[in-house]
Amino acid sequence: MKEIENNVFFSYVEKEIADGKSVSLRVKGKSMTPMLHEGDIITLIPVNQHKLKIGDVVLFTYKNNFLLHRIICKKKNKLTLQGDAVYQHTEKISTQEVIALLQQVKKQNGKTIDCQSIYRKIYFYLWFVVKTIKYRLLLIIKNKRNEPKR
């Protein structure tokens, strides 16, 4: 199988999306687990930057890289994004840097997930709350371990 450079591949993706077409591709990376796993096939669709919402998963450019992460904060045309498996690092971008919206995921077991359904939005909210609580508990535990013994 021939490998294509990321920039060449994603220029093609950008062109197809700009032409109003959807694009399917295989996931690489682990920053969006448990929702996305390496090898899942995702479908990206054109996006209206004015209709982006917290919870949407989008393809965007950040420091000359193409990333697929979730919007966790939106203020006017500024977005904060983060991978579902990432606890600290976030990306801050403008809505103009968003290329496409994640529409669906075809899991390796053949199951298809509609990422725009209300159930997915509820799932995201619950995952985000649990992730935040887990992160804070881990910080408390770490700080307790680092306290000097009396």
Q: What is the mean pLDDT of residues 49-58?
A: 93
DSSP string, 83-125: -TT-SS--EEEEGGGEEEEEEEEE-TTS-EEETTSHHHHHHHH
Phi, psi at 43, each rounded to 5° = -115, 125
DSSP state of 33: T
The predicted pLDDT at position 1 comes to: 60
Q: Name the pLDDT band for 113 (thresholds 50, 70, 90).
A: very high
Query: Which residues have CB under 8 Å from 116's CB, separation 6+?
Result: 103
Residue 119's CB is within 10 A of a number of other CB atoms, namely 9
Closest C-alpha to 71, from 13, 125, 133:
125
Provide, rounded to the nearest whole percent, the portion of the chain with pLDDT above 90.
63
pLDDT of residue 150: 62
Q: Give the pLDDT mean for 100-123.
A: 91
- Report pLDDT for 149: 65
Tokens read off for 95: 């809505």
Where does the pLDDT of residue 73 fall: very low under 50, low under 70, confident under 90, or very high at 90 and above? very high
Q: Residue 100: how many CB atoms within 10 A of its CB?
A: 24
Degrees to nearest 5, angle at CA 142 with 137 and 143: 100
pLDDT of residue 132: 75
Q: Tell me: the pLDDT tens digits for 5-32?
A: 888 899 999 999 999 999 999 999 999 9
Supply the pTM of this predicted model.
0.83
Q: What is the mean pLDDT of the chain?
A: 89
CA torsion through residues 58, 63, 65, 69, sign: negative
The answer on pLDDT for 131 being more than 80 is no
Q: Stretch 105-129: mean pLDDT, rounded?
A: 87
**Do the strands 57-62 and 98-106 form a parallel or antiparallel pair, or are they unpaired?**
antiparallel
Structural domains of the chain, ranges and CATH numbers in brackets: 6-146 (2.10.109.10)
Rg value, the chain, Cα: 17
Query: What would the two tokens of residue 12 be?
Result: 């093609």
